[in-house]
Structure 1
Amino acid sequence: MTKEITPEMAESFSSTIQEVPQNKVIQDAVMKNGIKASTLNNDSIVSMNHVFSNEIETGKVSNQKQSGRCWMFAALNTFNHKLMAQFKLKDFELSQNYTNFWDKFEKANYFLESIIETADEPLEGRLVSWLLETPQQDGGQWDMLVSLIKKYGVVPKQAMPETFNSSNSRELNPLLNAKLREDAMKLRKLHQEGKTEKELQQAKDKMLLEVYKLLVFALGEPPKTFDFEFRDTDKVFHREQGITPQAFFKKYVGFELDDTVSIINAPTKDKPFGKTYTVQYLGNVVGGKPIKYLNVDMDTFKNLAVQQIKDNRSVWFGCDVAASSDRNQGIMDTALYDLEKAFGFSFEMTKAERLDYKDSVMTHAMVLTGVNLVDGKPDRWKVENSWGEKVGKDGYFVMSDAWMNDYTYQIVVDKKYLSDELKQAWEQEPIVLKPWDPMGSLALMK
């Protein structure tokens, strides 16, 4: 058997392609226009209608710009929907920069604590190498947002607006990570010198002061109190003075965060359905809510999302947004591109195989705000993105049910929608997954 590519082999392959005349036409189209534009399936575009049998009234689409805070925007959007409906607000937004500040500060502490915890692990070992690869970043998970809000509350966008660095994190993140890696080096050296736990914590406190200063200069300092003023859609003016972020969340948002559960569909052999899972070293707030998932089959997964939408509540979800999608058209559909017809071979991995072989993972979080039901079954879903109004239909996307099956991995729903069997399953002690497990991926797509 030949192990290397020979000139004869390459010549044979070339001849095989040239034997089919239409291959030249396809080659010219792909070379000039790109793979996606050349294989775009118009039937998919026609079928992905932006009309839905069940739809939640929402406002103007937000814009995370050049940052990976999709998970944060999506979560806050679910709160925005409730606020706008309850208090008759138009196009209201909670401050993403406020939660961003505390997320980065908490992630810095979480990283440094992980470095102290692993101080006896070899520097070149997989675990420490994994920790050092990305000390912190923009991405996150629902439970991480819950930890932040329970500790720090929320504020309106006006109380802490966006800055250059919150909307464009490519300068801040490398600088902060460089500082954290330097701090990791210092902490490991102090441990090697025999310093006590108290001395390590004192050193860490000084490091966190520097991190706080960097974040204040880049993002602004979070308000401790603020005035909340607004005029509702009935033209009535409202004012509340000197309210704290925690009090604001309790009074105006009022979500019972402990009643939310993360549901995943990960159909791999190592993750049986009906079990709960967590991921080692995945989090942001030390002592905060641990990451926890309940793995279910896809029919159960979708039924839970439908129930919440029918109750006029939007659904946070995580997916592999780049797969079989077009951001300009705002379409996510497995039939969007005729790749098999164009190239003459198929792409046939299952969802489980794509996870196992690193071909797909959760990359982005958005919000389900509608579903089209035919005879009680979904055939397409309405999606609120956070990429501004210039993509999709005024920022909204449409997702086929087939795409939901293949590329959606996580939803967050109220615990009340779970059956008694699922509620019992949720109470199980979670199975601990390795830090590099696919279910440890963070939503951070820009």
Structure 2
Amino acid sequence: MTLRTFLLGACSALAFAGMASAETLTIATVNNGDMIRMQKLTDDFKAKNPGIDLEWVTLEENVLRQKVTTDIATKGGQYDVLTIGTYEVPIWAKQGWLVPLDNLGANYDVDDLLPAIRSGLTMDGKLYAAPFYGESSMVMYRKDLFDAAGLKMPDAPTWDFIADAARKITNKDKEVYGICLRGKAGWGENMAFLTAMSNSFGARWFDENWKPQFDQPEWKDTLDFYVKLMKDAGPPGASSNGFNENLALFQTGKCGMWIDATVAASFVSNPKESTVADKVGFALAPDKGLGKRGNWLWAWSLAIPAGSQKAEAAEKFVAWATSKDYTNLVAEKDGWLNAPPGTRASLYANAEYQKAAPFAKMTIDSINSADPSKPTVKPVPYVGVQFVAIPEFQGIGTAIGQQFSAALAGQLSVDQALQSAQQLATREMTKAGYIK
């Protein structure tokens, strides 16, 4: 072998070793504003971890859920980091599908995570996902439209007040609609909203023996109220609108009220993104006087599937994206208003954040008031506020969401949608062995 051949071979081996040492993490995430911001800030992560590259798969909410569920259930190994929610984490951890997060680093401060959020991501004392942002739901409304109509929003409104106000501030000639609510079918889209709403009406998914309850008057009251309100005071095409579509409507001045995730508060209050930023007020989610408000509890969190071959690198990314340092990075680049909310006690003790975010107290009060272990007025055998924490819920919830979306679109009557929901849920729960 000549010296030249030897040197060329050595250089090739070194180059190959260099290539092999650079790991590329594939991260599946949802196309929400906070996740888009995270992608723009990842130069900070790469500078601190030069051996790790990132590849993003950014998907609409329903599509993301479908793809990551299929991948993890079939052990496809397509992703190294998953963006998943409070519903999936305990179910998937129990199946052995997620890697426990034992090495988030000495400075991570797990004890700073809000107890309500942390408990939903923990099983047997171990954290299986780290919360990127946490949320409940609340009312966002246009103060100028309320003033013009001679209305004053209570801090804790009733559904009857909301409905009356929505009809009064609607001006369809000017394309201003009194209320925007989710109508797009999906267990995490319209059914997240409608399940939380139904809790406040006294409804429940199942009784103590897992018998579906869509044939009961409380669900009829909920769906009747929702469909009539949206027909009178909602935007056209509401059955296609989810979180992002309603956000766009509110930001462009077409919604008088929007009841949705507390995380949206920073987007509607940001003058760079919202034409009504200086006119927005906030209130707790409505109730019917039965002791439960229509607010949910959720965290979009980052988890590592057990099928990943790059778990160590993935955990470094998860630690970076959900750390106090990341919160400070967002504040430095985009202002405290845009700090990811709802995960850490330290954020809500931060005077700068409180000053920048007029919705901070309403958000933390909403998160703390949601009780996944007692979500309904009547007793239930399940945990979860806007979902039922059983594996079958994903399929059942989406199928029923399609029926309720069709009722909103006028393709089915409320009675027909509820009858279909009862039949669907009974069939699936019987097949799964919950009821005989």
TM-score calculated relative to the size of structure 2: 0.22
